[in-house]
Chains A and B, each alone.
Chain A
C-alpha cells in the first residue's frame, strides 16, 4: 500500500527526477558546504515551491550542522525529517461521521473539483456507503453533464438544477432529499471561483449560510481543492478560502505530472490546514490518502 503510493507519485516524479534530489547531487554532493553553496541550494528549494521560510530553515540547518562529508543521503534525511515534522500533524483522519455527512468541495477554476468529487464518491462507495453528489456548478458549460457521468461511474445519486439557477437553493433542496433517502454522504461540487472575486466568494458564503438553516452543523466538511501545478498563489487561495468558508482540509491534485506539490509546505507552515488526499490521475481510483512520510520521500526521491 505504502509502496504503491510512493510508486504512483514517483511515476511522475522520476521522469524528471526530483529537482531537489538533482540539486543535492549537483550543488552539494562531494563539495565543502560553504556559504555560496548553501545560498544556491536555498534558492533551489524556493524554486521547488517550498517557500522562503522553510528554505532558509534548511539553509540554517546546513550551516549549523557543518556537514563535512556532504553525502547526499545525509542531506536528504535531514530535509526529510524537517518536512515530516511540519507535515505529519496535518495528516487527516475523518473523525466523526454524521448520519448524513455533507462535504462541500470548493476551489479556483479548473483545479480538479468535479473529478475529485467523483473520486471521493468512489472511496465511500468502496466502503459500501450510500453516496449522493450535487451539481452546484450551475454556471459553467456542461458542468452538470460532467458530474452526471461521475455519478454514474460511482453509482451515486445525482442532484441537479436548471442552468444558471441559484446554487444555494439547489443545495438546500438536495440535502432535504438526501435526508429522506437515507444517504450516508452528500458531496457538493461547486463552481470554480477565483478567491479574489468578491461576488463569487459571496455566492459561496451564501451557500453555506443557506445550508446552515437546515442544521448549524452543515456542511460537516469544506474541502479546498488545489491544483498541484499552481505556484505561490496556492497559499493565497488557501488563506482566503479558509477565511471565507473555514475549510477543514485540502486536497492537492495532478501530482501524477511533474509538479510535486512543494507548496503544501509553506501552506502547512502558515495556515496549518490538514491535508486529506492527493489526486494522482483522472480515473476514479486516483485519489490517495495524504501521508507525510511518503510525500517527503517522493519529493526527495528517497526509495
Chain B
C-alpha cells in the first residue's frame, strides 16, 4: 500500500521505457502520477501542485527526456527539490539573547507538546549547559500539569509546581517571575492542546503570546498528520508568531508529507524531531532525512550514525567497511546481536535501509523476539573461531556438537545459518550500490555528538 515514491517513479518510467520513447506528453502523465503519490504521502494539494511545477521546469531544463536514465534523473530532481523546500540546512534555536529566554510550545490536542517540552529542556541542559525551568499552562486536560511535573522529576528538570484556580496567563506570569528571580537561563512554557475552530482557546494563546516576548514559539506537530496540516499551520501562524516546528512521532512509519505542507505554509524551519516516547528521543532536524523518507529511500546516514553511537567509532568504521565489502562474519554478527537490542532490534536497522521492506517482514518473522537473539548468541558461542568465520564448513557432525553445546535444535542452527547467509548476500548487494556507498561515505559519520538514539526498547 505504501509503495515508495522512488519505486513508483521507477515503475512509471519502466513502463514508459518499454514504449521506447518519452515525450512531453508522457512526462506530463508521469508528473501527474508523482502528484498523486505525493497526495498519498499526505502532502497537501496546493503544495503538491506548486512542487510539481518546479520539478517540471527543472526536469525540462535537465532534459530528462533524452537522458539515459530518466527515472533516476527525476528522482534526483524530486529529492533535491524536497530537501530544498524542507530547508537547506538545519536551524537550531537561538539561545544567545537576554535571559531568561522564553520558549512557548503550541499545537493541536495530543500532538506531543508536553513530552516535547521535557525533551527540549533536557536537550538544552545536555547540549547547551543552561539552567532550564518548565511550566505547564494547561488547566484543561486532566492531570496535564502533573504530567509535566512528573517528567521534570524523572529527569531532574526544574518544573513549576501545580497551579490551581489560576488562568493560563497568570500562570505564565508566575513562571516568568520565577525564572527572573531565580536566574534561570531558559523558561519553556507548555500550553494546552487546542484546535483552530475553538475561538476562545485561540484567543487565549494569542493573548499569552502577545503579553510576553517569546524568543521562540514552536508549533508541535505529528509527523503522521494528514491533509489538514495546512489548516492547522495556517491557523497557528496567524494566531501566534511562530519561529519553528517540532515534528513528533517520526519513529512511526508515516511518509511525513505533512512536514512539507507545514514548512511551506508557515515558511518556518522544522527545528527538531521527536523520535520516541523517551525524553532522549529527540534530535535536531536534517532536511535530507525527511526528504528521503517521503521518497522512500531509507536513511542510511541515520543508521550509520546510530551504529556509530552504539558501537563506538572505530568499530563502526569497520562495520561500515564490512557492510560494503560483504566481509561480514558470524563473529561480527555476534557483536551485532549484542548491540542489536540497543539499536531497536533488526527491524530498527532495516527501517533505515532502502528497499528493504520486503525482506524486513521475513526477517521480523524469523526474529520473533529477544529470545531468538539469545538463542543465536548461544549457538554462535558454541562454534569454533573457524566456524564463525567460514560458516560453510558447518556440516552434520559439527552441527551436532554445536547443538549439544548450545542446547538448541538442528533447526535452530539451520535457521541461523540460512538467515546469516541471506544477510551477507544482502549486504554484498548493498555494497555494490554506488548510491549507498556514497551515502555511507558522505554521512556525518564522525559527528558523534549529533548521534541519535531512536526506537530503543521502552522498558
Contacts and interface: CB of A to CB of B under 8 A. Distances in A.
Contacts of A231: 42, 224-227, 229, 254, 257-258
Interface string B237-259: 00000000000010111110110
Contact of A43 (B39, B41, B195): B39
A111 B252 contact: no
Given A142-B146, A145-B146, A232-B40, A49 B226 contact: yes
A108, A200, A282: residue with the most chain B Cβ atoms closer than 10 Å: A282
B61 interface: no
Contacts of B35: 43
Interface in A1-57: 11-12, 15-16, 19, 39, 43-44, 46-49, 52
A19 B227 CA distance: 10
Given A46-B36, A197-B251, A256-B195, A141 B110 contact: no
Given A142-B147, A257-B108, A257-B196, A263 B252 contact: no
Contacts of A180: none
A34 to B, nearest CB: 15
A229 B347 contact: no
A199 B2 CA distance: 22
B109 A254 contact: yes
Contact of A47 (B222, B227, B231, B457): B227
A127 to B, nearest CB: 23
Interface string B173-202: 000000000000000000000011100000
A258 B195 contact: yes
A142 B146 CA distance: 6
B32 interface: yes
A234 B40 CA distance: 12
A11 B143 contact: no
Contact of B40 (A11, A48, A52): A52
Contacts of A270: 1
Given A46-B39, A108-B252, A258-B195, A146 B224 contact: no
A258 to B, nearest CB: 4
Contact of A48 (B148, B197, B227): B227
Contact of B457 (A145, A199, A234): A199
B193 to A, nearest CB: 8
B204 interface: no
Contacts of A142: 143-144, 146-147, 149-150
Contact of B251 (A146, A164, A194, A235): A194
Nearest to A202: B369
Contacts of B227: 19, 47-49, 231, 262
A303 interface: no
Contacts of A39: 32
A209 B109 CA distance: 32
Contacts of A258: 195-197, 228, 231-232
B374 to A, nearest CB: 15
A77 interface: no
B258 A198 contact: no
Which of A39, A141, A202, A259 has the most C-beta atoms of chain B within 10 angstroms of its own C-beta? A141
Contacts of B114: 141
Contacts of A259: 226, 228, 231
Contacts of A198: 345, 347, 364, 369
A44 B140 CA distance: 36
A139 B458 contact: yes
A195 B249 CA distance: 12
B277 interface: yes
A96 interface: no
Interface of B is mostly: loop
Contacts of A145: 142-143, 146-147
Nearest to B459: A164
Contact of B39 (A47, A196, A260): A47
A282 B40 CA distance: 29
A7 B246 CA distance: 34
Nearest to A46: B39
A229 B143 contact: no
Contacts of B457: 199
A149 interface: yes
Interface in B1-41: 1-2, 32, 35-36, 39-41
A126 interface: no
Nearest to B155: A141
Contacts of B108: 229, 254, 257
A194 B111 CA distance: 14
Given A110-B222, A145-B143, A229-B222, A236 B196 contact: no
Contact of B228 (A44, A110, A229, A232): A229
Contact of B277 (A139, A236, A239): A139
A150 interface: yes
A132 interface: no
A232 B254 contact: yes
B421 to A, nearest CB: 23
B141 interface: yes
10 contacts: A11-B197, A47-B227, A110-B110, A139-B459, A146-B142, A194-B249, A194-B253, A233-B255, A236-B253, A258-B228
Interface of A: 11-12, 15-16, 19, 39, 43-44, 46-49, 52, 108-112, 114, 139-142, 145-150, 164, 192, 194-200, 202, 227, 229-236, 239, 254, 256-260, 262-263, 270, 282
Given A196-B253, A282-B141, 12 more contacts: A47-B45, A108-B224, A111-B110, A141-B147, A146-B142, A164-B459, A202-B369, A231-B258, A233-B253, A257-B228, A258-B195, A259-B228
Give 7 closest A-B pairs by Cβ, nearest first.
A231-B226, A110-B110, A149-B142, A257-B195, A231-B42, A142-B147, A145-B143
